[in-house]
DNA sequence: GTCGTATTACGAAGGTTGTCAAACTACGAC
DNA sequence: GTCGTAGTTTGACAACCTTCGTAATACGAC
């Protein structure tokens, strides 16, 4: 304990490198309606968003779970800002690895 | 019994209509490595293919299962031809419902 | 330090998925 | 008719996924 502001750094969040992002994982991450909704909101979303801003119809722990799946698949980037966890779409990385995929998903009915 | 060539017709295969194809189902269907491999082969594939032509590293029943998932998601169309079951990508339907998705998936690493 | 907020971690229930083997059905060739 | 080939169906199993509640943690404000 002790070290006060180390904690934020201590809470490490795994993010795959750009070239570690796997198509299967991304598709799988996007195949859940709640996660799709998160991604759509992030895409519409003008700015990075805290988890709480999404107002999802699930419990807090389930929410954490879905954000983790998206992050570990490489779809979103997350970082701590005070007590909140901000999320941002990894649009550039996705576009580099699977060109057109994200926009096709967002554009679909 | 009796009616000889009725049987092929009797074995009905469910296919969703074009406008029943759901994004989540398609993404989920494509998120499995074996199914992705099937789709890639079909896309490269010049012609409709029988299941056996794929030479997949799984048992027959598992094979049946994967083809069914693809068919019920609306990704492929299947029909009987003698003792074989032929498969074909529903490229037009997919393109109409989720433009660019299939080619993005096929183009990805 | 204490308190409140945002979030994570743990553990469990319930459902779905991928896999197989064994038994079965449908068709074509003979 | 019989035989072989292609595929299905059933039933099983382990692994995973989604969900939750509860307990714990990290930070900001006081």
Cβ-nearest to B98 among A31, A32, A108: A108
- pLDDT, greater one: A48 or B87: B87
Residue A45: the pLDDT is 78
Domain containing A41 equals: 3-108
Residue B98 has pLDDT above 50, yes or no: yes
Is any atom of nucleic acid chain D found less than 7 Å from the CB of residue A2? no
Q: Alpha-carbon distance A101 to A19, whole Å?
A: 16
Per-residue confidence band for A12, with pLDDT thresholds at 50, 70 and 90:
confident
Distance in Å from C30's C1' to A67's CA comes to 62
Confirm whether pTM is higher than 0.75: yes
B contact test, residue of A100, A103, A107 with most B CBs within 10 A: A100
Structure tokens at B58: 């799984």
Q: How many domains does chain B have?
A: 1
Structure tokens at A98: 């699977």
| Domain at A39, CATH number | 1.10.10.10
pLDDT digits (tens, 9 = 90+) for B15-34: 999 999 999 999 999 999 99
| H-only helix segments in chain A | 7-10, 23-30, 33-44, 60-73, 91-97, 101-107
Distance from CA of A38 to the nearest CA of B (A): 14
Which of B22, B42, A101 lies closest to A89 in space, CA to CA? A101
Residue B8: the pLDDT is 47
Query: Would strands A84-89 and B49-50 be described as parallel, antiparallel, or unpaired?
Result: unpaired
- Provide the mean pLDDT of chain A: 86
Contact of B38 with B56, CB cutoff 8 Å: yes
pLDDT digits (tens, 9 = 90+) for A17-70: 999 999 999 999 999 999 999 999 999 876 677 777 888 899 999 999 999 999
């Amino acid at each position: 304990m002790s070290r006060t502001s180390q904690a934020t750094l201590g809470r490490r969040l795994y993010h795959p490198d750009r070239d570690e992002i796997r198509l299967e994982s991304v598709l799988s991450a996007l195949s859940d309606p709640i996660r799709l909704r998160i991604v759509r909101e992030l895409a519409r979303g003008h700015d990075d968003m805290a988890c709480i801003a999404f107002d999802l119809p699930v419990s807090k722990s389930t929410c954490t779970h879905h954000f983790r799946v998206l992050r570990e698949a490489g779809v979103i980037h997350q970082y701590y800002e005070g007590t909140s966890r901000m999320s941002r779409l990894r649009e550039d990385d996705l576009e580099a690895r699977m060109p057109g995929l994200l926009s096709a998903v967002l554009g679909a009915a």
